[in-house]
Amino acid sequence: MVQTLQKVLENMLDRLYKIVTIYLPSLLAAVILFLGAYLLATAARWLLYRIFKGPAIDRFLRQSGLAFVLDPSGRLRATRLVAETVYWCLLLTGFLLGLTVFDSNITSHIIESLVFLMPKLVIAGLILLGGTWLGQYLGRSMLVWAVNEGIPGPRRLSLVVRIVVIFVAVVVAADQLDFARSVFLAAFIILVGGGVLTASLAIGLSGIGWRRLLEARKTAEAGEGERSLWNHL
């Protein structure tokens, strides 16, 4: 019994020793690489905050409205945007370099997946950003137009336009990432079909109402014309 227990403990210690001798140097190297990337990213961010101003980019962000899309308070500046982008890119690079040290099938698969996924993530993020900006612009335009035309519920119409545009952007971004493509496509078709049906019913009912209004107005004008003629005679 004692010999069996001793043999089990020896086997466990051997496996632990092999794991430590194989993975500990790689882990230490990965930690050193990540710390180096963190220090480099911190230094680059500090330097960009000091030397980079970007007034032209600030002007473009304010005039286009992207500053309010990225930051609702509108206090976003090009210095912060560029510095934080460089900071996180350097951190991600250090993380990937740290994973390459292990040289295993799992880490190689993770790195390959991230490398192929990053361009899609960037494109999907730009699509969402553009959709959000376009939704706010069209929603504001709808609000102004509805108020000027005296249409009831202008804020609701503006909100509907904004939601529809953002939802279309989400559908396109999901298609770019190959994420739940059929689900978003079915939801988009249902939404568009429901919108078309609602618009058709609204146009039909409003057409009947406008027709009755025009007929009543023509009848009233004809009656006034006849009265004015007899009054004159």
Look at the block and give the residue holding tokens 């990213």.
Answer: 41
pLDDT of the residue at 39: 92
206 pLDDT tier (thresholds 50, 70, 90): low
Closest CA to 118 of 154, 147, 92, 84: 92
CB 52 within 8 A of CB 91: no
Q: What is the mean predicted confidence (pLDDT) over 170-189? A: 75
pTM beyond 0.75: the answer is no
Q: What backbone phi and psi angles, to 5 degrees, belong to 226?
A: -65, -40
Distance of CA 22 to the CA centre of its chain: 42
Which helix (H) or strand (E) covers residue 208, if one does? Answer: helix 181-232
pLDDT digits (tens, 9 = 90+) for 119-160: 888 888 888 888 888 888 888 888 888 888 777 777 888 888
d(CA 81, CA 69): 13
* DSSP label of 151: -
Q: What angle do CA 223, 227, 231 make, to 5 degrees?
A: 175
Please state which of the ranges 3-12, 24-33, 204-213 shows the lowest mean pLDDT: 204-213
pLDDT digits (tens, 9 = 90+) for 184-193: 667 767 777 7
d(CA 33, CA 91): 10
Q: What are the angstrom distances between the C-alpha of 225 and each of 1, 217, 229, 231?
A: 120, 12, 6, 10
